[in-house]
Chains A and B, each alone.
Chain A
Amino acid sequence: MIPGISITEILTLTSILFFIGVYGFLTRKNLISILISIELILNASVINFVVINKYLYPDVLQGVVYSIFIIAVAAAETSLAISIIINLYRQIGSVEVKDTETMKY
């Protein structure tokens, strides 16, 4: 654990980070910006896993292993999302959410 820092302070920080990500997700109109907001949300959850493992159950490693898996899944998701965005740009010439209608229904 980090000396002098209680777990509630770190959880407060990650909650703020999570809701900044949610705010970006709700207000942004661009696919890449939405992807950035999703990265913020995922990172907040990863810090939560790590910190709860470190502060409450220091003898096990489950939180660390789960966060490694989350990072791997996030990397896979980002690469796929970016390839979809580039393909979409090639087809409709825009990455704004309002123009993205071809795959909707």
Chain B
Amino acid sequence: MEKIVFYVLALIIVVSAIASVTSRKMLRSVIYLLFVLIGIAGLYFMADYNFLAAIQLTVYAGGIIVLIIFSVLLVHHIEMELEIAKRSRRIIAALTCLIGLGVFLTTIYSHPFQAVPNSVTTTTADIGLKLLSYEDGGFILPFEVISVLLLAAMIGAIVIAKGGKIARDKSENIPDPKKEKIREPKADVLENEVPI
């Protein structure tokens, strides 16, 4: 039973991943990525890591996908087809990937893994205790660093996307008719020509 479920999940993941990197419609490619992420969450459920599967579903499928879809809708026309790379470039990339995959697989299949048969279920309480433990092998410091990182990323995203003072300095270089009219008398001519 588990074998069948695993192979179905693996098929979904691989096919959706290939479709996601080859599809020419932007929005479809994002939705294929969503299928990949849900398949991976299914793998975590099969490995009995329920908390990790829940994180995968909420953070990736709920957060990141919605963020990417928003940016796609803001930036693209839905019907726009993506430019694809040249044929020679695609073939070279595929060959590189196949060579790398060959190296990986020979390494994996020649290494004797000593798998320990077990059916340990990791509860959320275990993970929480480990994350907040001060003792040897505890993760309290990285936990705090990650919280600071998330705060910094949040502030940075707001500042960059809002286009505050710093961004306005750069955007002044773009020929904007309204701004140019105001600036023209004292603006340097060279500065206006740079971005084009």
Shortest beta-carbon distance from B71 to chain A in Å:
5
Interchain CB contact under 8 A, A50 and B44: yes
Shortest beta-carbon distance from A5 to chain B in Å:
5
* Whole-angstrom CA separation of A11 from B122 in the bound complex: 21
Chain A contact patch, size range:
35 or more
Question: Which A residues lie within 8 Å of B170 (CB)?
Answer: 91, 102
* Whole-angstrom CA separation of A43 from B63 in the bound complex: 15
Given A58-B116, A89-B74, are A50 and B101 neighbors across the interface (CB < 8 Å)?
no
Residue of A26, A27, A72 contacting most chain B CB atoms (<10 Å): A27
* Whole-angstrom CA separation of A89 from B77 in the bound complex: 13
Chain B contact patch, size range:
35 or more
Question: Which B residues lie within 8 Å of A73 (CB)?
Answer: 146, 149
Residue of B30, B63, B101 contacting most chain A CB atoms (<10 Å): B101
Interchain CB contact under 8 A, B115 and A15: no
Contact with B along A33-45 (1 / 0, CB 8 A): 1011101100100
Question: Which A residues lie within 8 Å of B64 (CB)?
Answer: 39, 74-75, 78
Interchain CB contact under 8 A, A72 and B150: yes
Given A15-B108, A36-B29, are A23 and B97 neighbors across the interface (CB < 8 Å)?
yes
Interchain CB contact under 8 A, A26 and B67: no
Count CB-based A-B contacts (< 8 Å): 233
Question: Which A residues lie within 8 Å of B75 (CB)?
Answer: 32, 85-86, 89, 95
Question: Which A residues lie within 8 Å of B63 (CB)?
Answer: 75
Interchain CB contact under 8 A, B55 and A68: yes
Interchain CB contact under 8 A, A65 and B131: yes
Contact with A along B60-74 (1 / 0, CB 8 A): 100110011011101
Of chain A, the residue at the smallest CB distance from B99 is A19
Interchain CB contact under 8 A, B101 and A15: yes
A window 26-75: CB within 8 A of B: 26-30, 32-33, 35-37, 39-40, 43, 46-47, 50-51, 54-62, 64-65, 67-69, 71-75
Question: Which B residues lie within 8 Å of A8 (CB)?
Answer: 108-109, 113
Interchain CB contact under 8 A, B14 and A56: no
* Whole-angstrom CA separation of A12 from B102 in the bound complex: 10
* Whole-angstrom CA separation of A96 from B84 in the bound complex: 11
Interchain CB contact under 8 A, B150 and A36: no
Contact with A along B90-120 (1 / 0, CB 8 A): 1001101110110011001100011111111
Find B47's partner among A1, A18, A83 (CB 8 Å cutoff).
A1
Interchain CB contact under 8 A, B71 and A27: no
* Whole-angstrom CA separation of A78 from B37 in the bound complex: 15
Q: A33-B21, A71-B56 known; 17 other A-B pairs, CB under 8 Å?
A: A1-B115, A4-B3, A4-B6, A5-B3, A19-B97, A19-B98, A19-B104, A20-B18, A27-B85, A56-B113, A67-B52, A74-B64, A75-B59, A76-B152, A82-B67, A83-B158, A89-B75
